[in-house]
């Protein structure tokens, strides 16, 4: 988004401000579809659960990866607008409940929708069989997460060697395992993770078939990286490698799902904050702004992400520290930003901050989250 537009919006609406560009959302969705024509997109809502973002992807034909009942209902509110006769069959086409561990209360509520849910252990099978027997299952595998910004394999995923036994265990509990799922880790810049996971999945498909279990779908998860900097590999190159292995190892009859999140929304988010304080500490210029890590910059803490702040003004720069508004020393956005000499009430902005940012905002210390503005809807 142009600097001029960001500055105009900040002056009009005040700060802190979080701006979502829906034109960019649509462009990212189209780009993913172009490079993965065989894959059905299930947007990972946890990345940014704003209902307007969900609705934009819904209107484009997208499906959704949900991990809580709140996220489920965000999507279901859109589904409820359909004619009654279309709603029930629509759930599978538009929602996968991809949290492998689910409370009993959640399973009881989900059961009437006959959902597709993930699992990765014996206890979860028993819970699903008892409380959501109408669900279809996808077995989540533990796969390599090497080089990903946030690894997930230590928390979720069945070992490949126990996969078919778990499929058989679910069958004995009168459940149907529809297919497999995996996640290579968030912001995965290592294509080998995807390749190894696809190979593991193909082996399990073959072993399952030899034992009488016909799997129908493969969910290749998320992890598709946003282009934060030059170190991120070209998306087209990553897609080419993944598509080659999918087409080589899985017949066209197998449904392929993916759960992109960061890739779809990161570049669509922009943050604008105002300088509310200024000081020199340890011979370094320090700026204090009205947004921070308890708000839009929460990804610094929860997502291991680095965000850069830019000035709307030109001039010689120096290494500066930038702090958020709360009284907590943890509320540090950066200790090494190249910024010019600025004054109180001047503005700073950050690009590519649409993912894992505003979604985790709090009211800590009495400071409210940034106001959210949607443009180009």
Could you give the residue numbers annotated as active site?
327
Tokens coding 124: 């979860």
Are 299 and 356 in contact, with CB atoms under 8 Å apart? yes
Q: For strand 186-188 and strand 17-21, is the pairing parallel, antiparallel, or unpaired?
A: unpaired
Q: Which residues pair with 118 in a beta bridge?
A: 138
d(CA 30, CA 27): 5
d(CA 145, CA 160): 14
Rounded CA gap, 118 and 124, in Å? Answer: 9
What is the C-alpha to C-alpha distance for residues 140 and 182, in angstroms, rounded to an integer? Answer: 5
Residues found in the chain:
377
């Amino acid at each position: 988004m142009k600097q001029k537009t960001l500055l105009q919006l900040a002056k009009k609406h005040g700060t802190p401000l979080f701006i979502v560009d829906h034109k960019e959302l649509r462009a990212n969705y189209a780009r993913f579809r172009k490079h993965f024509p065989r894959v059905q997109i299930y947007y990972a809502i946890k990345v940014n659960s704003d209902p307007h973002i969900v609705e934009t992807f819904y209107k484009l034909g997208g499906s959704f990866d949900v991990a809580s009942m709140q996220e489920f209902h965000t999507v279901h509110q859109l589904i409820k607008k359909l004619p009654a006769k279309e709603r029930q069959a629509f759930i599978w086409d538009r929602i996968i409940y991809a949290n492998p561990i689910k409370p009993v209360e959640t399973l009881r509520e989900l059961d009437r929708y006959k959902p597709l849910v993930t699992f990765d252990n014996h206890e979860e099978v028993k819970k699903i069989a008892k409380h959501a027997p109408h669900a279809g299952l996808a077995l989540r595998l533990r796969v390599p997460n090497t080089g990903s910004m946030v690894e997930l394999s230590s928390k979720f995923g069945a070992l490949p060697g126990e996969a078919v036994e778990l499929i058989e265990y679910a069958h004995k509990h009168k459940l149907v395992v529809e297919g497999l799922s995996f996640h290579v880790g968030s912001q995965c810049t290592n294509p080998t993770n995807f390749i190894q996971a696809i190979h593991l999945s193909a082996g399990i498909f073959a072993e399952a078939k030899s034992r009488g279990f016909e799997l129908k779908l493969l969910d290749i998860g998320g992890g598709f990286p946003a282009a934060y900097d030059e170190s991120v590999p070209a998306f087209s190159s990553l897609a080419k490698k993944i598509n080659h292995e999918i087409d080589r190892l899985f017949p066209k009859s197998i449904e392929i799902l993916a759960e992109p999140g960061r890739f779809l929304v990161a570049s669509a988010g922009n943050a604008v904050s105002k300088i509310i304080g200024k000081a020199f500490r340890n011979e370094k210029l320090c700026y204090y702004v009205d947004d921070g890590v308890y708000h839009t910059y929460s990804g610094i803490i929860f997502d291991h992400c680095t965000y850069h702040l830019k000035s709307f003004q030109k001039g010689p720069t120096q290494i500066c520290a930038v702090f958020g508004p709360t009284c907590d020393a943890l509320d540090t956005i950066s200790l090494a930003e190249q910024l010019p000499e600025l004054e109180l009430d001047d503005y700073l902005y950050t690009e590519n901050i649409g993912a894992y940012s505003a979604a985790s905002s709090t009211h800590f210390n009495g400071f409210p989250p940034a106001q959210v503005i949607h443009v180009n809807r």
